Amino acid sequence: MRVTFERRLKQPRWLSLAVPVVSVVFALVVAALVLVVTGHNPFTTYRELVDAAFLQTGSLGQTLISATPLAFTGLAAAAAFRMKLFNIGAEGQMYMGAIFGAAAGLYLGGRGGPSAFVIASMVVAGCVGGMVWALIPGILRAFFKTNEILTSLLLNYVAGYVLTYLIFESESYWRQTKGFNATTFPTGKPLPHNAIWPGWSVHVQGGLVVPLGAGFAVLAAVILWLLYSRTRFGFEARVLGDSDRAARYAGVRVRRKILAVMALSGAIAGLGGASQVGDFAHSLDGDPNGLQKQGFGYSGIVVAALGRYNPFAVVLVAFLIGGLQNAGNTLQGATFPAGLVGVIQGIILFSALGGELLIRHRVRIGRRVRKDASTAPEPAA
């Protein structure tokens, strides 16, 4: 028997909905086998998962804590990947956004300005922080043809060390140095109250607070969508992503575009960092067991891929993956190893991503490959 993948000429619309659904169901069936083998009831496990992620009181609020940063890093990845610029550095760009955003919040908030002004400054500072960090691999790529996958990835580690250094290994502006607690264990200086981002209270599940950052993430998605589908900038970026040479012939300024897209991607990730400070931590979280342990930047790449780089889909996927992460904390415990949670999450993500292949390709199973009109030849790469 012979199995071949053929690129689809047309991608039917119903497929782009059916495939993810079937993929997830397939994943749940496979994961159920794993659960049964390890002695757990798959039905109660799934029920618990859904409950913990979305249904039980307070769960949506906790899911948003993961979903908000994932939306930012997902959008950051989507913005760059669309142009086939593989910015793996959302993680580090997020830290830099947090550092810049926290600096703005601490400094301007401490001077007692109006809250709206302080928060707006934090947003701008966060974007700038991420942008600066993303432009390093951007410039290297644009002018020296350095592989941005490697440079952006390695800069994540640098950013992590900078973050830890500021809180754990120096008496920096960001570190709390007053009071007894400050001498016993390093922590960030708390933001003044006018630098803390407000949330919207919604009457769901007995009072859900939607963080301001979640609003910004949706806004960023709208802007990104407009930019890529309604402007010349987006068109050129997409052309460039599809064919470097074609774009060049059409007069696209490639270097400028690379820099612009990297800056955009970094700014979104940086905004996510500012949101970490303003929405959640309320100080610069330099604890190596804190923000850095979460790996939102890396999960964001998966979120972007699952959302097929469509900004709105990315936000939706971020919400679902945020729920999955949140539920993972509920599932694991003395009788349910954390590793098993990881296996289930992995199966779901793997299947969902694997399913993507089926949207663009069709599988032929048979002894011989039939040649009929509906089959397109594999285009030359």
Could you tell me what percentage of the chain is helix, strand and coil, using 3-state DSSP and rounding each to the nearest 5? 70, 5, 25
Segment near another protein (CB under 8 A), from 44-52, 127-135, 217-225, 370-378? 44-52
* Residue 347 backbone dihedrals phi, psi, to 5 degrees: -60, -45
Q: Do residues 49 and 282 touch, judged by C-beta distance below 8 A?
A: no
Nearest to 78 by CA among 273, 341, 25, 86: 86
Cβ contacts of 147 within 8 Å, gap of 6 or more: 141
Site for another protein in 325-344 (CB under 8 A): 325-326, 329-330, 332-335, 338
Using the minimum distance from each CB to another protein, give the nearer residue, 48 or 356. 48
Kind plus residue range of the DSSP H or E element containing 209 = strand 208-211
- Determine if 289 is a binding residue for another protein (CB under 8 A): yes
User: Smallest gap, in angstroms, from Cβ of residue 341 to another protein?
Assistant: 10
Chosen residue from 183, 201, 231, 243 binding another protein by CB under 8 A: 183
Site string for another protein, 342-381 (x = CB under 8 A): -----------------------x----------------
CA atoms within 13 Å, Cβ hemisphere of 86: 10
The least distance separating another protein from the CB of residue 161, rounded to whole angstroms, comes to 7
Residue 185 interacts with another protein (CB under 8 A): yes or no: yes
Element (H, E) at 280: none
* Element (DSSP H or E) covering residue 361: strand 361-366
Only segment of 47-55, 145-153, 235-243, 306-314 that touches another protein (CB under 8 A): 47-55
Backbone angles phi, psi at 210, to 5 degrees: -90, 120
Question: Applying CB under 8 A, does 57 fall inside the site for another protein?
Answer: yes
Site for another protein in 293-332 (CB under 8 A): 293-294, 325-326, 329-330, 332
Nearest to 256 by CA among 237, 282, 275: 237
Residues that bind another protein (CB under 8 A): 22, 25-26, 28-29, 32, 43-44, 46-48, 50, 52, 56-59, 61-62, 65-66, 69, 161, 164, 168-170, 180-181, 183-187, 280-281, 285, 287-291, 293-294, 325-326, 329-330, 332-335, 338, 365
